[in-house]
Amino acid sequence: MKFWVNNNNKKQSVIAGDKIRASLKDLGIEEYRRSPDLVISVGGDGTLLSTFHAYSNHLDKVKFLALHTGHLGFYSDWTDQEIPELTQRIKDYKDKIPSTSYPLIDIKVESEDGRYLHEVAINEVVVRRLSSMTMKTSIDIDGEFFESFRGDGLCFATPTGSTAYSKAIGGALVHPKISVFQMVEIASINNRVYRTISSPIIIPHNQQVDLYPQVADDYVISCDGITTKLMKVKRISIRLNSQRAQFAQYRHRHFWTRVGTAFLGQDEE
């Protein structure tokens, strides 16, 4: 087994990253950045997202592990105070890493000139405009017209991403065992011309959402906070990716316990 550790630049994360590197090397496990089996993110949720995107082209091989140096996040099972216990678990399962998987969102943008942009997200994809003008688009679901949308934008979230931005704008909390994604409208406008459902909708794994936005030169997509400007957009297609993100699961934390800890202030046992 090979590993790689990615930590942010905060002092606590640097110390924790160095500690787990040294501990794993002492066990004879090789550190290898280019093609690791286990990628350990040390820091916060932002560090985990950047770590995921750094290895999103190796999903068939890599398993991720998040070690938080603050409060536990939704992808994290460990804190920097538990490195000795984590190291022992990695040693015990050195030959076969136990894992669980999470759905990913796949987004494709087709331009009028025939160019394509393809991205993947573990939390959410947000489509909006940079200017103060509202976004106008028709929306098809599974190949059939669904609604004419006008508003600030649209958010498409995975189950694990349902606890992030999607929740802040009124989305549902979805258990990651369910292979679905959701569409949440951002400040939609309803009148005689634009009629929207004005409610989050849950979309199954085998269906696709297609957006056909009105012509504008300031559309952007944000994939897990990474923003890309779009030019001459013809169609934007969103569905679940055929691959899933694999996370090393050296111990189990119940999803609803994580929700209670993060939002209700409940203590974990």
Q: In the numeric block, which tokens belong to residue 47?
A: 């560090």
Rounded CA gap, 184 and 143, in Å?
19
Q: In the numeric block, which tokens belong to residue 48?
A: 């985990």
Rounded CA gap, 68 and 216, in Å?
41
- Is 185 in a helix, a strand, or coil? strand
Is-catalytic flag, 80?
Answer: no
Q: Beginning with the edge strand found earlier in the chain, give each strand of the sheet holding 116-121 in spatial order.
A: 116-121, 105-111, 233-240, 209-213, 135-141, 144-151
E strands, 103-218, in order: 105-111, 116-121, 124-129, 135-141, 144-151, 153-157, 180-186, 201-204, 209-213
Q: Are the beta carbons of 159 and 191 closer than 8 angstroms? A: no
Q: Are the beta carbons of 163 and 74 closer than 8 angstroms? A: yes
Q: Which of 37, 45, 106, 142 is catalytic?
A: 45
Q: What are phi and psi of 181, to 5 degrees?
A: -140, 170
Return the active site residues. Answer: 45
